[in-house]
Amino acid sequence: MNQRTLTAAAIQLGPIPLSAPRNEVLDRLVALLHTAADAGATFVVYPELALTSFFPHWRIDDRNELLQFYETDFPHGSVAPIMRAAAQRAVTFEIGYAEVTPEGQLFNTASLVDGTGELARYRKVHLPGFADEQPEAQHQLLEKGYFGVGNLGFPVTEVQRARVGMAICNDRRWPETYRLLALQGAEIACIGYNTPVATPHLPEIDRLTHFQNHLSMQAGAYQNSMWVIGAAKAGVEEGVDQIGGSAIIAPSGEIVAQAHSVEDEVVVAEIDLDMCTRYRAEVFNFLHHRRPELYGPISAAMDPAWPYPMAR
């Protein structure tokens, strides 16, 4: 039996200024895809909201101004240059962007795309931040105001003999994300993210931001016997410092490749897809070792006082 391997790349992006023309951003993304392909990658993961600045960091009251950040014709008009490069280099890519539907719904979205078109779409479920401006915060996080909760579930799609799922940024912190993908047989989780160094309402964890970023992805990879490809927006973007740390993580939980800058950078690794099979047979065999029938209703196990008030 032939070993199933796939050479994958996490594309890290340095800052994208608010004033950056779309054609310049696309030129960067195409150049990075070619760099990844030159290194042997046939599967590429871009960050969350890879086509624009991370605009939820700013209050934008005018809807027409806000909608300039959203895609209406994805994938053909929006990423046609990347699709052409992907067709030329036989690459499949996953990319994050802001989506507005024909009905006017707004989503933080990621899609799997190859040279022929879109293969699958995911809309972010775990939206962080707030719907309204927080005047005391050093930067805003207005995702709850700019996006609706995703309504497509967690799709898993076969790509290049691998079962691939998608998640976006804050999704990576929730164990349900990985478990829902793993229960569908996902072998790769693609996770684009934009994560500030500073947490405005909990500054005590700022020193842990890099650690917790990798911790969540490594735990998800290990506990679900899957590869995780995390692709970041990095560096100081319009005054907001973002962490980077793009990484490719094995089912063992080990980081096998990692970015070392906060600029545009391509992180490449050959991944052994059969490692998922081996770990799922010997370490985390869901069929033989999980006992969901004994867990009981979650509501019965929860303390009704949760979340605890600041003082009791």
Cα separations in angstroms, 218 against 163, 213, 311: 19, 9, 34
> Mean pLDDT over residues 220-231, rounded?
98
Q: 5-287 — its CATH code?
A: 3.60.110.10
Q: Give the residue numbers annotated as catalytic, written as ranges.
A: 48, 124, 169
> Mean pLDDT over residues 80-97, rounded?
97
Three-class SS of residue 193?
strand
End-to-end CA distance of the chain: 61
Lowest pLDDT segment from 97-111, 119-133, 290-304:
290-304
Q: Is 310 a residue whose pLDDT tops 70?
A: no
Domain residue ranges of the chain, discontinuous segments joined by +: 5-287
pLDDT bin (cut points 50, 70, 90) of residue 300 is very low
The pLDDT tens digits for 157-202 are 999 999 999 999 999 999 999 999 999 999 999 999 999 999 888 8
Q: What is the pLDDT of residue 183?
A: 95
Nearest CA among 115, 134, 161, 151 for reference residue 58: 134
- Confirm if 277 and 244 have CB atoms less than 8 A apart: no
pTM for the model stands at 0.94
pLDDT bin (cut points 50, 70, 90) of residue 302 is low
